[in-house]
Amino acid sequence: MNFSKFFPRHWSVKTKSITLVIAYVVTLCVVYSGFTMYLVAREEREAKTRFQQTVETIAAKLDAHLSSGRKQLEAMARLPDLFRATRARVDAQTVSSSPSAWNTLQYDVLHSPVFTGGFFLLDRNGAVTWTDPPRLPWLGRTLIDTASVARLHMGEHEVVSAGIRGNAFFEKPHVVMSVPIHGETGEIRGVLGGVMNLDGEEIRGLLNGALLNDARFIDVRDSQGCIVASNHSERLLQCVMTALDREEVLTSTASLSQASWQVVSEQPRAVALAEVRHMHHLLWWAGLGIVLLAGNLGGRFVDSFVGSIRVLTADAKRMAEGDLSQPVVLENREDELAILADAFERMRVELGRSRTMLEQRIEEQAEFIRMKEEFLANVSHELRTPLHVIMGYTELLAEKERDDLKQTMLGHIKAKSEQLFHLLSDLMTLAGISSGKTILQINAVRVTHVCDPLVALAQRLRQEKEIVVIWDIPVGLPAIETDASRLEQILANLLTNAFKFTMQGEIVVRVRAENAQEVMVFEVVDTGIGIPSDKLPFIFNEFHQVDGSANRKHGGVGLGLAIVKQLVGLLHGKV
């Protein structure tokens, strides 16, 4: 299988253009997808950060709220004679009869927004000796059986209790914050506590201060996982035992430093990241639009570009085939292709002008050749008649003349007459071939019958030369279909040429059959001066000689090989 056609250099312009557009669109998709994913991931991180910041802000506010209450309780617990002052307050039932310690307590603590459920004071036996507001049902009761109060009374370091539902002592869901009251020697004399209602406006205000929607809730959970505060009141004091699926819910947490509480915010991801998803979808739709637009523009570009290339290719092919009738025009283009089309059009016009001039010159040359051949034929014919007379009288005079000098002179006349006769014969042959008037007589010919007359020619040509003629003609060569006289003329010209340029050595005339005797090869090989390689392309031209000195030394006008070439062509051979 040939895989080279899959290489880009073998692709068409259309294939390359489409591949380029596809690569551009794919690259655009990859870059845009990466950019979109980056933006979505960044927006998601920012949404989670905002989510976490909201939780941390609420946790900080709750910490400040609890810290404020704790500091107030600690300040109150450090007051001297706290038990005496509160007892006097209970006995008097009026603020005016209270000592100065009570005035400080009244203005610094009892107006605190933290403890919306009231205050209480336990003695060392766990009995409530004082409450605020006054005369609450707890007064005189023993709270030591209440788990959260009992732990505080036992001296444990728990400042804020777990969430407690409403009971016989406290009607509303609440938590208790308390601090121990120490005596002068460090012993625990009692407990000062404050009650925070979990459904009070203060805590709800802290939670609802964040911008929340209905699908998002914020809980404050104690160490047991029970909800002590929530922006959804129906979730209050519910204990969350299982974690929600993090793949479906976005969760943020923040711990408090003032209590073993944790602020937990949860919201379905689909809601929390709705804006991010919306932006994601918007970006993808925008990206799809960009890709479709890029594909559409790329397709239009390919159609326009490739269409113009096809027009130019068709015009170039038509001009290469010789059709210069149609102009080369690219409409609605002003780029490099338009410049190329304009260059093609100028080339078409120039080619048409050159063709017209060339055709005119060819016609003139053809007419000149016709006139030349007609002139040569007429001149040759007119010269042959008196030449025959000269040759005839020369032979008659030679037969009767006894004087040696005159015999020599008559011999020169005869030789030159024969040379001139052969020249005229060559001119007439060349003129006949060029004009198409040469008639061939094709018959079955034996090679030996063609070569026998050449022996006498070789004997006459080798006079006064030290040349050995070798005839390599096998017996039994098959007959060939050809014109015997024309084949003999071809071999005679080759043999004459060999003798002309060979002063000594040998000349080999070889005939052999090739391709199962379907092709007959005639060779004339000599040891003469040879032909320079740069002259070989011109040896079959009419009237061409290798050089001037050879022309003067060896004679001839350069028609022998030209006649051989044309006669071989007429006989459907090769030379």
What DSSP assignment string belongs to 529-553? Answer: S---GGGGGGTTSTT--S-HHHHHH
Interval 54-87: pLDDT, tens:
888 888 888 888 888 888 888 888 877 676 666 6
Helix (H, G, I), strand (E, B) or coil at 516: coil
Count the neighbouring beta carbons within 10 Å of the beta carbon of residue 530.
11
Is there a domain that residue 22 lies in? Answer: no
Token match 């979990």: residue? Answer: 198
Average pLDDT value for residue range 372-393: 77
Do 260 and 271 form a contact (C-beta atoms < 8 A)?
Answer: no
Residue 497 within a domain? yes
Is the CB of residue 249 less than 8 Å from the CB of residue 291?
Answer: no
**CATH number of the domain that residue 566 is part of:** 3.30.565.10
**One-letter amino acid identity for 117?**
G
Those residues whose C-beta lies under 8 Å from the C-beta of residue 210, and which sit 6 or more positions away, are: 54, 57, 58, 218
Beta bridge partners of 267: 250
Give me the domain span that covers residue 520: 439-570
Q: Check whether 173 has a pLDDT greater than 50.
A: yes
Interior/surface letters 375-411, b for 16+ CB within 10 angstroms, e for the rest = ebbeebeebbeebeeebeebeeeeeeeeeeeeeeebe
Find the angle CA(62)-CA(67)-CA(73) to the nearest 5 degrees: 130
Query: Which pLDDT tens digit goes with each residue over 240-259?
Result: 765 555 557 778 889 988 88
CA distance 223 to 227: 10
User: Is 391 part of any domain?
Assistant: no
User: Alpha-carbon Rg of the chain, whole angstroms?
Assistant: 64
Q: Which of 5-14, 26-35, 237-246 has the lowest mean pLDDT?
A: 5-14
Lowest mean pLDDT among 235-239, 348-352, 532-536: 532-536
State residue 467 phi and psi, 5-degree precision: -125, 135
Q: Percent of the chain beyond pLDDT 70?
A: 81
Looking at residue 95, its pLDDT comes to 45
The letter for the amino acid at 162 is: A
Q: For residue 566, what is the DSSP state?
A: H
Q: How far is CA 294 from CA 27, 307, 328, 331, in A?
A: 11, 19, 31, 24
Per-range mean pLDDT, top range of 26-35, 172-181, 203-212, 539-548: 172-181
545 falls within a domain: yes
3-state SS assignment for residue 432: helix
pLDDT band with cut points at 50, 70 and 90 for residue 99? very low
pLDDT above 60: residue 551: no
How many domains does the chain divide into?
Answer: 1
| pLDDT tens-place string over residues 490-536 | 888 888 888 888 888 899 989 888 877 678 898 999 888 877 777 77
Q: What is the mean pLDDT of residues 26-52?
A: 79
Residues in the chain: 575
Say if residues 541 and 533 touch (Cβ distance below 8 Å): no
- Rounded CA-CA distance 429/465 in Å is 30
Within-domain flag for 154? no
pLDDT of residue 382: 77
Residue 328: which residues within 8 A CB-CB, separation 6 or more?
312, 315, 341, 342, 344, 345, 348
Question: Does residue 63 fall inside a structural domain?
Answer: no
Among 555, 416, 565, 401, residue whose Cα is nearest residue 494? 565
Instruction: Please name every residue paired with 229 in a beta bridge, in sequence order, or none if there are none.
Output: 220
In a domain, 539, yes or no: yes
State the pLDDT at residue 127. Answer: 82
The DSSP string of 110-178 is TT-SS-TTEEEEE-TTSBEEEEESTT-TTTT-B-TTSHHHHHHHTT----B---B---SS-SS-EEEEE
Residue 514 lies in a domain: yes
Burial 184-208 (b: 16+ CB within 10 A, else e): eeeeebbbbbbbbbbbbeebeebbe
pTM (2 decimals)?
0.47
Could you report the per-residue pLDDT of 429-451, keeping only the tens digit for each?
Answer: 777 777 777 788 888 888 888 88
